[in-house]
Amino acid sequence: MNTNPIVPSSAGAARLDTATTPGDSGCGSPSPLHQGRGWGEGSLSGSRAEDRPAGSGPASGSRRAFLARLGLGAALFAVPGAFAEELARKTPWVEEGPFYPPKLPLDTDNDLLIVNDSITPAVGEVTHLSGRVLDKRGDPIRNAAVEIWSVDSHGIYLADSSNRGQYDSHFQGFGRFLTGSTGEYYFRTLRPVAYPGRRAPHIHFKLKLKGRDPWTTQLFVKGEPGNAQDGLWRGIGDEQARALVTVDFVPVKASRLGELAARFDIVLDITPAA
Ligand SMILES: [Fe+2]
């Protein structure tokens, strides 16, 4: 278990009817970089990015500097009013699918590329995935537990017991992050790949807020030819709705290793308490 989160140094959204079509059965039915401490299974009482002492843990040094160059600057997040137009559209709900881990792994932090204290990272295209959780007025939601899970580079889920032998044991496969006052979340993970049954690469999200039912969606990769062949993606409302869950995975200019960055704000149908 990593004990310190890695966070970007400057860290500070509609219902979709289930739409399963033949050939898309994989997910068609039934559920800062290390933010691990305090996240016991089933618990939402984790530490927040903003609670971390500056320079502590793996976030310090070159990695922190690198993250700072990703463009995850405060300016991107500090003007909720400027996004009022966009926020008129809530993030589409997309079904959970069958591969939410029935038993959470020991390591559930927000760096999915390193399991526990391993020095061997997962194989695949490294992706810095970030965004904010917002209410329908565009204000950040604090204490939202953001959970993600996705396949390894071979297209296999952590929870796919029938293919466990082929699973990349260095890929955490699942991670979670508790938002602070900015509503920001951050994960280091892999660019998803297609797998049998799902032609559109995607990352599953589940959001948990106290007193509310868990809410799920899926994030898709802009420009993927498999999207148009994926029943779930096609079933997401209209073109505008699909666009809300389909984002660019862009090369990070500062990276010599071909790392990617993806930005996904999640707007929930929630009106803040007065
Ligand atoms: Fe899936």
pLDDT in tens, 72-92: 544 444 445 555 554 458 999
How far is ligand 1, taken at its centre, from the CA of residue 92, in Å? 16
How far is ligand 1, taken at its centre, from the CA of residue 203, in Å? 7
The pairing of beta strand 202-208 with beta strand 249-251: unpaired
Please name which of 266, 27, 5 lies closest in space to residue 150, comparing C-alpha atoms: 27
pLDDT at 34: 54
φ/ψ (deg, to 5) at 82 = -70, -20
pLDDT at 236: 97
How far is ligand 1, taken at its centre, from the CA of residue 97, in Å? 6
Instruction: Map residue 91 onto helix, strand or coil.
Output: coil
For residue 84, give both structure tokens.
């009022």
How far is ligand 1, taken at its centre, from the CA of residue 183, in Å? 25
How far is ligand 1, taken at its centre, from the CA of residue 25, in Å? 9
Q: pLDDT for 31-81, tens place per residue?
A: 355 554 334 333 333 334 433 333 333 433 444 444 454 545 444 444 455
User: In the chain, which stretches have pLDDT less than 70?
Assistant: 1-88, 272-274
Query: Rounded to an integer, what distance in angstroms lies between the CA atom of residue 251 and that of residue 132?
Result: 20
How far is ligand 1, taken at its centre, from the CA of residue 98, in Å? 8
How far is ligand 1, taken at its centre, from the CA of residue 60, in Å? 33
Residue 146 and residue 176 in contact, taking contact as beta carbons nearer than 8 Å: yes
Alpha helices in the chain (DSSP H): 61-68, 74-77, 231-234, 239-244
Give the count of beta carbons closer than 10 Å to the beta carbon of residue 210. 8
How far is ligand 1, taken at its centre, from the CA of residue 140, in Å? 27
How far is ligand 1, taken at its centre, from the CA of residue 38, in Å? 27
Residue 56 makes CB contacts below 8 A (sequence gap 6+) with 4
pLDDT at 234: 97
What pTM value is reported for the model?
0.76
In sequence order, what E strands does the chain have?
A: 126-134, 145-149, 174-178, 184-190, 202-208, 215-221, 246-247, 249-251, 260-263, 266-267
The superfamily CATH assigns to domain 49-267 is: Aromatic compound dioxygenase (2.60.130.10)
How far is ligand 1, taken at its centre, from the CA of residue 87, in Å? 26
